[in-house]
Chain A
Amino acid sequence: MGLLSDPNRRRALISMLTRLNTPICVLCYFAGVCWFMGLAFEPFTLRTYMSENAMGSTMVEERFPSGERALATGREFAAHKKKAGGMPVDWLVKTMQARGLEVFTQSFSRTLPFPDENKERYIVKGTNVYGILRAPRAPRTEALVISAPCSPGDQNNQAVGLLLGLAHYFRSQIFWAKDIIFLVNEHDLIGMQAWLESYHHTNTTGMDWSPLQGRGGSIQAALSLELSSDVITSLDIVLEGLNGQLPNLDLANLFYAFCQKIGVICTIQGRLQRNDWDSVLGYSHAVQTMMLMVMKQASGRPWGDHGLFLRYHIEAASIKGINSFRQYKTDLTTVGRLLEGMFRKLNNLLERLHQSYFFYLMPSLSNFVSIGYYMPAFGLLVVILLLRALDLWVLIANPPAITADGVADLEQQSSTGVLSVLTPLVISHLTGAALYILPTHFQEIAVEHFPVSETEAVVLTAIAVYTAGLALPHNTHRLLTGEGTEQGWRVLKLVAVLYLAVLLGCTALINFSLGFILALTLVPVAAFVTPHVPKALSAVVLVILSPACTLLFSVFFFQELQEMPVSFQEGWLLYLSVISQGILDHYLYGSLVYPLVALMIYPCWLLFWNILFWK
């Protein structure tokens, strides 16, 4: 405590921090990166375990018998789907009714802000069909959801077949304590969004939906099913949801436990687990799996139909059947038994899943990294910003070279200081606002004047606004009276550094991966940039480390991780589509990554760009 009250020792500490600022910063940066890379090393991680008592010790016997019948139903569904040219609503209603469910339909329509070229849709109209299995002697207060999307083409027919098969089998059981909702949603995520918004009677994205007629109370958990082949070799679980939200870890544990019990090969991120953690290969495998999770989480988009449930505090995951060239195949009966087991355990839940972690990373299905382990990596990066801020603060308080008329100078500087800080702040945020608003609002004008499609227009407008922002320093200075001073840029940088620290801190609390990736690129920028570094070289570095380029590198890195490397040309096209998808995700599902980058991160980066070109 002497540190606070003893001016000498305080001074000594501060002088040490300012003197050794750069080495400490470099050290922190590398320590942060190393810590992060170490997270995937198995001895440093925790093994997963079931925290929820209600799901742990209770024995459940799986008896689902009718995989073959489910397949036949799936084929029938496919035939009707082909005939109807979309969702076979009548057939589904009839089939579900025959299985003894209360069946309801819901229609919805949504006009996208601009055409989605990946999925080739613009005006989306569809119908969701869902049947509710009413639990005997339950008062309609709790429900579980199992959903399968009705996808175009030959996709997911088996999933719908299995869903109906499970419905038939579940209906004849007496032990259900929660209503079970069997949902077949059209237009994947849009249908799911419409159903969920209608179920909770909210409207966050301006979708038109018809109100639901039947409900089952508060939904406790949901599983989304994707199966496109009659037999599978492995099951993959997808956890990443909207805005990087994850379901409770117990849901993943439950899946893992049942895969172990029934003997189905299970994967996460489509990657098998390796046992040789002590070899280089094993370690790099774990790192890659974890990096895939980080990249997916950072993207903030729902990676399956389950992703939208998480907003409503419903634990949800997608289960995908994968049919590769492996020899050992699993039939649908086994998958049905696995789902039955999972649902029976979820049915046993007395409370919502809350015992286990909500914030975690998974280098494999049997190991996880909890928030307490990964946060230090991020903390080490952010502490750099705080050190730089301290350094700047000290410099501003005691200017290094005091001239004879230093007092007069200081007064003059502080008076211009407010304006010189405020002007770039306001202008860069206005640029950010333009980046957020212009692409979707000026697509029509762009389409009229340039030979591009709407989607291209949006993406290219975004890139154009982004690039135009780089010319900002010149414009800012025109607005400023007089020359920028030494003190001026220091104040601006102090503000910018603290702003970035707060921004990244908040982002990492909500979505660690996004915060970490942004910190990885923006922290060096924030640390080294001054008006006195070589202009051309620094400008290149700054642009390379800007959010847009981070995204570009992430696209290539992600493809590399998925073992699907792309050429630069393909990568660029992918990059453009990723931008358009990001904007669509925001407008369709309320993903926050695009507004965060456009309204916060990008203006913050512009401040540093401004400092570089300070005159």
Chain B
Amino acid sequence: MAAYRCSLCARLLLLLILLLYALVHSEEIKQGNIHHVRGVNKPQTPAETVERPLEERQCEATEVNEAVSSDAAAHLQDYPGPDSVLTSTPQLKDDFREELVIRPLHSGDIYASFQFRTVWETDFTRGSKVSHYRLFPKSLGQVISKFSVRELHISFTQGYWRTMQWGQPYLPSPPGAELWVWFQDTVTDVDATWKELTNVLSGIFCASLNFIDSTNTVQPSASFKPLGTANGTDHRFLRYATLPREIVCTENLTPWKKLLPCGSKAGLAVLLKSEKLFHSSFHSQAVHIRPVCQDWHCKTTSLELRQTLNVVFDLHTSGQGKREWSLFKMFSRTLTESCPLASSSKIYIDTTDNPQEEQFELSPATPLLSQAVVLGDRRTFSVYDLTQQVTFGTVRSLNVLIRWKSTEGDMLRPLLHAERYVAGYGLQTGEIHTLIYNNHPFRSFPVLLLDSVPWYLRLYVHTLTVTSKGKDNKPSYIHYQPSKDRIRPHLLEMLLQLPPHSVTEVTVQFERALLKWTEYTPDPNHGFYVGSSVISALVPSTVAMSTNITQEQPLFSTFFPCKEESNYFMRVYTEPLLVNLPTPDFSMPYNVICLTCTVVAVGYGSLYNLLTRSFQIEEPNPGLAKRIANVIRKMRGVPPL
């Protein structure tokens, strides 16, 4: 009882102190107990308020010139302050930020990328039970703690990213479903945990992730390194699997939206209406969970959940001849408010190629500009801050409109891109060709190629050739794990040096296996899928990239850690392959049974007959006279004739 009273006193004291604290710093409010009121109780630390004018400088509403933006960029580099949100004092707080990046593409299409980030200052690794959830979705939190997941990356993609037309995506993903997980090194039976995890995730995301088994799971040795803070990179704790056939639709979108703190009720998520999202050229949604540093010293880690959704809308199928895009046209909704739980809610429009508005016209014009280094390139963005009432204007709704002025551009020449196809004809053998293009005029760079091929394509590894510019290109590192029939797939990882301005061709021949008749899919003549190759590369960048990932930057620019100054990390996925296997005619079993029975009956029966019958020489039939004579002789007791 005394102890209870004591703790009560302590709590009261604590409350008193906190109250005082809140009175002093009127804009800072202890989260966790008190609900937010939008626009009033926005947590904002002094550091952030200092930084804001530096980062996004108020420009004249009418003119947006480069001088200002470069000035802003200079300031940005001068003051690389620590991440203000993460360094704020209250313990075990979580933070939610949302943003939408819109990049008008050369082809007239438009690329919209949503990112929602929840950072939770908690640590599952210490084994402490966490039962109180606020912004972080409980369903995922429980999964992470139960299966001792250190990092989890899952993506669902419908369509193939067209690098030649659209450039590089902010977050690449292969067609279908992709899942890769780093487990804690305390996990003893990784395979069993992985199996259980995929089944649970399958339920959470309403996807066929339960089809992930040992025949499509690999452990890449080099291609997939942890993206968060980690000390061990032992690939025994890594599992990677893709399901190239997975079809993504609304039933996957709905559970994904439910993970958001505001759901699809407020904020940017209002725009995520499936009837428009799936009327597009490309759709990809992903969930990334990783541990990140809590502060500059990285003493403690917090858990970061990034939910991303990328979508590309097609000009030709949705425009009535008009070359213009607006939020309403894209999503059939406009924005009226930000998510009240979000500490930041912004829309970025990529205006790098449009400094003088010669490409497209943007309305309403925004006074805010931001610069960020994305994929090795310094980009300029117009920013709409949804937490400011001003953004919504007098009509109290925001409908960003982009009106194209120029006509369609040519195809792009991205620095790195890849394609893959099956060569040959007939149903016995074939050849997988992977072409990797390095379009950099003078620099060569290394890439890691990861190929995971199902066992029913039997790779002939002795036929593996790598050629660039007509010459043999010897990989400096090869990791090959042969397949086992019905147990595990082939895994081929190679470190290749791509010469400048070249095409590197990797070919390997294969033989198509004959499956058992129950192993065929219900639609065997459709073909069998081989997942995308993964190409991870350090691509030379034109802009020296900042090494400080905790610096205040737009979210989409800070995903992959980058160590070398002149390079940036990039991942490229090739298209999946559809390979036909020799397929029996499944109406045949009946015929086969009939035929086999006949053959057995006729062939075997007669042979058996021949082998077992005893042959005797038969007396020729005696004539009638002789028979009568014999009867008489028999009666007489004389031996017959």
- Interface residue ranges, A against B (CB under 8 Å): 1, 4-5, 97-98, 100, 102, 134, 136-142, 171-174, 200-202, 214-215, 217-218, 311-313, 350-352, 354
Contact = CB atoms under 8 A, between A and B. Distances in A.
Contacts of A1: 602, 605-606, 609
A283 B138 CA distance: 77
Contacts of B609: 1, 4-5
Contacts of A311: 425
Closest 10 CB pairs of A and B: A139-B175, A201-B423, A351-B525, A137-B159, A141-B578, A140-B575, A137-B158, A1-B606, A351-B526, A136-B281
Nearest to B282: A137
Nearest to A141: B578
Interface stretch (B7-15, B91-99, B160-168): B160-168
Of B107, B175, B317, B523, most A-chain CB atoms within 10 Å:
B317
Contact of B575 (A102, A139, A352): A139
Nearest to B320: A172
A141 B529 CA distance: 9
Given A139-B159, A140-B160, A352-B526, A173 B317 contact: yes
Given A141-B575, A171-B317, A172-B316, 7 more contacts: A4-B610, A136-B159, A140-B160, A141-B576, A172-B317, A173-B317, A311-B425
Given A102-B411, A136-B314, A215 B577 contact: no
A102 B162 CA distance: 10
B527 interface: yes
B416 to A, nearest CB: 16
A201 B580 contact: no
Contacts of A215: 419, 421
B104 to A, nearest CB: 16
Main secondary structure of the interface of A (DSSP, over half): loop
B464 to A, nearest CB: 16
Interface in B257-295: 278-283
A218 B580 contact: yes
Contacts of B426: 313
A213 B249 CA distance: 31
Nearest to B158: A137
B606 A5 contact: yes
Interface in B560-612: 575-580, 583, 602, 605-606, 609-610
Given A4-B610, A137-B158, A350-B526, A313 B283 contact: no
Interface in B509-536: 523-527, 529
A204 B109 CA distance: 41
B424 A200 contact: yes
Contacts of B424: 200-202
B180 to A, nearest CB: 19
B408 interface: yes
B280 A136 contact: yes
Contacts of A137: 158-159, 278, 280-283
Contacts of B160: 134, 138-140
A174 B527 CA distance: 24
A64 to B, nearest CB: 16
Contacts of A136: 159, 280-282, 314, 317
B150 to A, nearest CB: 30
B200 interface: no
Contact of B422 (A97, A174, A214, A218): A218
Nearest to B281: A136
A140 B164 CA distance: 14
A5 B613 contact: yes
B591 to A, nearest CB: 12
B48 interface: no
Contacts of A218: 422, 527, 578-580
Contacts of A214: 164
A134 B578 contact: no
Interface of B: 107, 158-160, 162, 164-165, 175-176, 244, 278-283, 314-317, 408, 411, 419, 421-427, 431, 433, 523-527, 529, 575-580, 583, 602, 605-606, 609-610, 613
14 contacts: A1-B609, A98-B408, A136-B281, A137-B158, A139-B244, A139-B575, A141-B529, A172-B316, A201-B421, A201-B431, A218-B578, A352-B526, A352-B580, A354-B525
A33 to B, nearest CB: 29
Of B165, B578, B609, most A-chain CB atoms within 10 Å:
B578
A134 B162 contact: yes
A4 B175 contact: no
Nearest to B247: A137
A201 B436 CA distance: 16
A109 B317 CA distance: 38
B362 to A, nearest CB: 24
Contacts of A142: 578
Nearest to B279: A174
Contacts of A140: 160, 175, 575-576
B316 A202 contact: no
Nearest to B575: A140
Nearest to B427: A313
A85 to B, nearest CB: 27
A556 to B, nearest CB: 36
A200 B425 contact: yes
Contacts of B279: 174
A66 to B, nearest CB: 14
A308 B523 CA distance: 26
Contact of B523 (A100, A171, A350): A350
A134 B609 CA distance: 66
B409 to A, nearest CB: 10
Nearest to A196: B425
A171 B317 CA distance: 7
A141 B425 contact: no
Nearest to A201: B423
A452 B613 CA distance: 74
Contacts of B165: 102
A201 to B, nearest CB: 3
Contacts of B602: 1
A139 B161 CA distance: 8
B606 A202 contact: no
Contact of A217 (B159, B281, B433, B575): B575
Of A136, A137, A218, A351, most B-chain CB atoms within 10 Å:
A137
Nearest to A312: B425
Nearest to B407: A98
Contacts of B176: 139
Contacts of B164: 102, 214
B463 to A, nearest CB: 14
A214 B417 CA distance: 12
Contacts of A200: 423-425
Contacts of B605: 1
Of A4, A139, A313, most B-chain CB atoms within 10 Å:
A139
B540 to A, nearest CB: 24
A425 B579 CA distance: 44
A139 B578 CA distance: 10
A172 B422 CA distance: 30
A157 B567 CA distance: 51
Nearest to B611: A5
